[in-house]
Amino acid sequence: MKPKGQVIITGVSSGIGHAIATKALAEGYYVQGISRNEPLDLRGKGRWSFFSADLTRPEAIDTIPFMTGDAGGPTILINNAGVLGPVCKSEEATWKNINKTMNLNIVAPMRLSARFLAEVKGDKQIYFTGSGAAEHVIEGWSAYCTSKAGIHMYANVLQQEYPEVRIHAFKPGKVDTPMQEEIRRSREENFPLVEAFRKEHEEGKLVKPDVVAQKVLKLIGEPADVPVVVSLSEIEL
């Protein structure tokens, strides 16, 4: 299979990131995964490479080597790693939890994207895992909602600054991932909507990670007139 390009993706140990990495390899991309732990099912696969990094640490971000070489297509950075952060009333959120959420959800993708833009040559694209929580007030999720609103804005700013680079933040919907499991474990006094999330899971309404992966890879190949912030529900398979 002729290589289609190179995908560099953060947060590949599980969930959306793991699904995109797996699908990209199957479609012929070279894939560089970045997270603290390497997914064992991808280790040793052709066209796969891995770099272990704790993206909450600025010094770790600056040591990540970007995949280089001619893979016959664009080099694509997918800033996917993220954390739900504190689920509680805002006055109860600690500095430590807020700082970790902002570092992983905003600071890391900003710094990694800055390095990518400066260091990677040729045709390149940047994607961010956004969220509908960026556009809706969700009680108990002050840090997460704020961080995702920030990443949507950052994607829009980047597109203005670099019109020659394709840049998108994609909203995947409610996806059946470890983060959703964490949400369902929340206490109702901290997150009043928790029962609605539990019900959607019981009714099988969550999006599967492999469907998200298929839509992201289709988005990469779609015409560039797609909005900067795009809902994956608008992309048909």
| pLDDT over 90, % of the chain | 89
Q: Is a pLDDT exceeding 80 seen at residue 220?
A: yes
The CATH number of the domain holding residue 76 is: 3.40.50.720
Mean pLDDT, all residues of the chain: 94
pLDDT tens digits for range 116-165: 999 999 999 999 999 999 999 999 999 999 999 999 999 999 999 999 99
Position 213 in a domain: yes
Determine the pLDDT at residue 69: 61
pLDDT tens digits for range 174-185: 999 999 999 999
Q: Mean pLDDT, to the nearest integer, of 205-233? A: 93
Q: Mean pLDDT, to the nearest integer, of 54-82? A: 88
Give residue for tokens 């909005």.
227
pLDDT tens digits for range 80-103: 999 999 999 999 999 999 999 999
Instruction: Tell me the one-letter amino acid at 77.
Output: L
Position 83 in a domain: yes
Determine the pLDDT at residue 70: 64
Position 185 in a domain: no
Determine the pLDDT at residue 85: 97
Q: Is a pLDDT exceeding 80 seen at residue 12?
A: yes
DSSP designation for 208: P
Q: Mean pLDDT, to the nearest integer, of 7-18? A: 97
Spatial distance between the Cα atoms of 120 and 38, rounded to a whole number of angstroms: 24
Give residue for tokens 């961080």.
147
Question: Domain range holding 11?
Answer: 6-172+208-234
- In sequence order, which ranges of the chain are alpha helices (DSSP H)? 15-26, 58-61, 95-102, 108-119, 142-161, 178-184, 194-202, 209-221
Q: Which residue has the higher pLDDT, 191 or 69?
A: 191
Position 114 in a domain: yes
Burial class (CB in 10 A: 0-12, 13-18, 19+), 62: exposed
The arrangement of strands across the sheet holding 229-231 comes to 48-52, 30-35, 6-10, 75-79, 124-129, 166-171, 229-231
- Looking at the structure of the chain, the number of domains it has is 1
Q: Mean pLDDT, to the nearest integer, of 43-59? A: 92
- In sequence order, which ranges of 28-90 are alpha helices (DSSP H)? 58-61
Position 188 in a domain: no
Position 129 in a domain: yes
Residues involved in catalysis? 144
Q: Is a pLDDT exceeding 90 seen at residue 73?
A: no
